[in-house]
Chains A and B, each alone.
Chain A
Amino acid sequence: MAYVATRGGERAIEQAERLFREEIGPFDQARVNEIKQALPYLIDRVMGEASLYDEDLAALALAQTGGEMFEAVLLLRAWRTTQPRLTVASPIEQDGLFTHRRISAAFKDIPGGQVLGPTLDYAHRILATDVLGGATHAPAPVEAADKPAPAHLPSVSAWQAENDLVDLPDPDPTIGNDIPDLTREPLLFPAKRAHTLQSLARAETGGTLALGYSAMRGYGSAHPTVNEVRLSEAEIEVAHPDGRKFSAGRVKISQAEVVDKKGEKLSLGFAATFGWNEVKCISAATLDLNSPGAAKGAPTEEEFFLYHTEGVESSGFCIHFKLPHYVTFQSSLDAMRDARAKKAARPSSSETEPAE
């Protein structure tokens, strides 16, 4: 591919950006706050794909880009590079999660029970058009139970391991800066599992769903059953300079385990992300479940799905095609004209071959 240096168009470029921003109009803290309060699931999706957790920054990025998701995520990914990394927290463990929702489609009677939490899974999808006529849509309040749900629940796979249904390896003792980090080292194949899961955690939701869905429809080797979906809040466990561990606050996370029966035991796929985004986690866990032994070029092969679900790279590559490609395209045209000219110059077969 070749590029050519061009000059000119500065004024047009400046006005084009102004035209984009004019449609969004001026925005301030109040708009950022409104976005944050009104669109928590969009905020979650942006934070997950940006791999940067802060609701205010995510809302600001959405306000600044008019909701153009790829631009918002790019803004946040760029901004994070301006910030120092202060420390690496302790790994989140299942028994420390403040759980809002945990269900299993594989087992009815999981320890701790099935807790639906906040969901639209069983809702009638009816658009509240009366709001456009001036009505206020006020959801009915939750009728809280007398006693609270248990905040902390074990993973379903831990319970299955106790029942000899799955083999769980010893926990990985790697901590801190020794954990492989995609933001500081390249993604190489075969990928380290830590890289695979980190990449899926920051993957673009739509791309992850598309590839995960292809596996679910039969283009993979394993059909997923949701072993566990969990929405929770995780503590950010850090250390005081004197060594005392404490939680610097909580972040919303979602995770999914999917399961398939292979041989004598169940095999598991796993994925998690910042924010509450079940579709992405189930899709990503399905890709994780299907990746062992996947054929080169299959949507479930890790190189294929990790490269193609990286939203900043894929959207950036897509939009780069709008940039001037005059040299490459002219080169293609030249080749096409040359081929056409050669073909025209060749005597036709009817002229060279004697008639029978």
Chain B
Amino acid sequence: MTDATLSTLARADAARLKHFAETLIEPLGDIEVVQSRSGLVMLPMRDTAQGTAFHLGEVLVSEAHIRAQGRIGYGMRRGTDLEAAMAMALVDLAQQMGVSTKACAAFCDAEAAAQQDADTQVLRKVEATRVDMETF
């Protein structure tokens, strides 16, 4: 079971995420940046013929790891936008520390709805390509 909020933040619109995270910096107070870097995530896949797990290849990601008052904020997103990964970590940290809780929830809900809507639009187009096949 994956964490829906973190998954939403990882796919959130980068500009909106960074803009929102800026509002959290002051209320969060002192923050220690443990890590801010780009790197690779190896992505395995399971073969459907024999069940073997194998490596499909590596994905470029940006990662941010921050800390405050014993809590860890973490962000990892596709691509090289370190600021966006840091923004994700700030929102994660704020949620754990109870900072701007309502605003964080509202932001995540709005982003989740936008992502759901985008997925639905794609799948409606995909559905238009379904074949109603007759064979003779």
User: Is there contact, CB below 8 Å, between B124 and A144?
Assistant: yes
Q: Does B103 contact A (CB under 8 A)?
A: no
Residues of chain A from 172 to 208 with CB closer than 8 A to chain B in the complex: 172, 174-175, 179-183, 193-198, 201-202
Bound-state Cα–Cα, A108 to B40, Å: 40
Residues of B near A249 (CB, < 8 A) are 10-11, 59, 61, 77-78
Q: Does A253 contact B (CB under 8 A)?
A: yes
Q: What DSSP secondary structure best describes chain A's contact surface?
A: mixed
Residues of A near B52 (CB, < 8 A) are 172, 193-194, 197
Q: How large is the interface on A (under 10, 10 to 19, 20 to 34, 35 or more residues)?
A: 35 or more
Residues of A near B92 (CB, < 8 A) are 240
Residues of B near A175 (CB, < 8 A) are 44, 53
Supposing A52-B60, A240-B3 touch, asked if A157 and B53 sit within 8 A by C-beta, the answer is: no
Contact of A179 among B49, B53, B130 (CB under 8 A): B53
Q: Does A293 contact B (CB under 8 A)?
A: no
Supposing A86-B63, A241-B65 touch, asked if A248 and B57 sit within 8 A by C-beta, the answer is: no
Residues of A near B131 (CB, < 8 A) are 113-116
Which of A101, A246, A257 has the most CB atoms of chain B within a 10 A radius of its CB? A246
Residues of chain B from 31 to 66 with CB closer than 8 A to chain A in the complex: 37-61, 63, 65
Bound-state Cα–Cα, A108 to B77, Å: 39
User: Is there contact, CB below 8 Å, between A80 and B135?
Assistant: no
Residues of A near B49 (CB, < 8 A) are 157, 168, 257, 268-270, 288
Q: Does A223 contact B (CB under 8 A)?
A: no
Bound-state Cα–Cα, A157 to B44, Å: 19
Stretch from B18-26, B104-112, B115-123 that touches the partner: B115-123
With both beta carbons as reference points, the residue of chain B lying nearest to A99 in the complex is identified as B126
User: Is there contact, CB below 8 Å, between B72 and A272?
Assistant: no
User: Is there contact, CB below 8 Å, between A268 and B61?
Assistant: no
Supposing A86-B41, A194-B53, A248-B10 touch, asked if A53 and B127 sit within 8 A by C-beta, the answer is: no
Residues of chain A from 237 to 261 with CB closer than 8 A to chain B in the complex: 237-238, 240-242, 244-251, 253, 255, 257
Q: How many residues of B contact A (CB 8 A)?
A: 57
Bound-state Cα–Cα, A93 to B79, Å: 23
B98: min CB distance to chain A, Å: 16
Q: Does A51 contact B (CB under 8 A)?
A: yes
Residues of A near B41 (CB, < 8 A) are 85-89, 236, 238, 248
Bound-state Cα–Cα, A144 to B92, Å: 36
A115: min CB distance to chain B, Å: 5
B114: min CB distance to chain A, Å: 15
Contact of B40 among A84, A182, A197, A241 (CB under 8 A): A84
15 contacts between A and B (CB under 8 A): A52-B59, A53-B78, A84-B37, A86-B76, A115-B129, A142-B125, A145-B124, A151-B119, A151-B123, A157-B48, A179-B54, A194-B52, A202-B57, A268-B49, A288-B49
5 more A-B contacts (CB under 8 A) besides A248-B76, A273-B56?
A: A47-B57, A86-B76, A201-B56, A237-B2, A251-B78
Which residues of B come within 8 Å of A, CB atoms? 1-3, 6-7, 10-11, 37-61, 63, 65, 72, 74, 76-80, 92, 119-131, 133, 135
